[in-house]
Amino acid sequence: MKAVVLAAGSGSRMGALTATHPKCMLRMYGTTLLERQLEALARGGADDIAVVTGWRAGSWEPTGLRALHNSLWEESTVVDSLAAARGWLADEPFVVAYGDVLFSAATVAALLRSFWPTAVAYDPDWEPKWRKRFGGPLIDAETFRHDAAGRLTEIGARPRDVSEIDGRYAGLIKLTPSWWTFYDELGGRGMELTTMLGELIRSKRLTVGTVAITTPWWEFDQPSDLPLGLPAVRALDDLVKGAP
């Protein structure tokens, strides 16, 4: 299955740390975030991987990766960056990974094995991470609800209470070519991915499954995420060392 890493944004919240390169090129323990993502995607079952570039696109030249450039990255959302890869992804199911999220090969494999044609990876034990990152569970949070069968019923709105959050979407999603039909129908340019998912769910045009994360993961969105995320980085590196 194909996979695409979305890394077009400037990572402005990171300040000077991303002044010369995208967030996914941040290095921890000698290895970049992107290198860890590529290994997890490949070990998890993705056999053809590309990256959508934007900010500091020249940073990709040494990597030898398939690069799909989003020339409008300064005014783009995640959905817009994904659309930059449409020609490459148009004819088969694919996995999308945000460029600032670390995850394990096991999470990728579980997503690919899921019987849901469209599915999101999520963390049911999200709240302790959010309290560490933001000091409270509702800051920079989104609603995320699923039913007893694991079907996503709500995502992407501003929560009023933690009871509206069954987990945290972890920036990893499996989609089918029908995504592009929905994108055209909704006029998806400028929409956030979770907003678009929420609209498709509410209108009953798309069924989205959920896959719970059972291994470490972390999102790197602001400078404090680097020291806070190092235990997750070490744990993920240990998983790779112990893998056959």
Range of the domain at 106: 2-234
Contact in structure between 107 and 213 (CB atoms under 8 Å): yes
Of the pLDDT bands very low, low, confident and very high (cuts 50, 70, 90), residue 65 is: confident
Please say if the pLDDT value at position 56 is more than 70: yes
Please check whether residue 239 lies inside any domain of the structure: no
How far is it, in rounded angstroms, from Cα 54 to Cα 22?
A: 9
Residue 62 pLDDT exceeds 70: no
Mean pLDDT, all residues of the chain: 94
The tens digit of pLDDT for each residue in 80-94 reads 999 999 999 999 999
Q: Do the domain assignments include residue 243?
A: no
pLDDT at 63: 74
- Strand 2-6 and strand 48-53: pairing? parallel
Q: What is the pLDDT of residue 139?
A: 93
Specify the number of domains making up the chain. Answer: 1
Report the CATH number at residue 101: 3.90.550.10
- pLDDT exceeds cutoff 80 at 205: yes
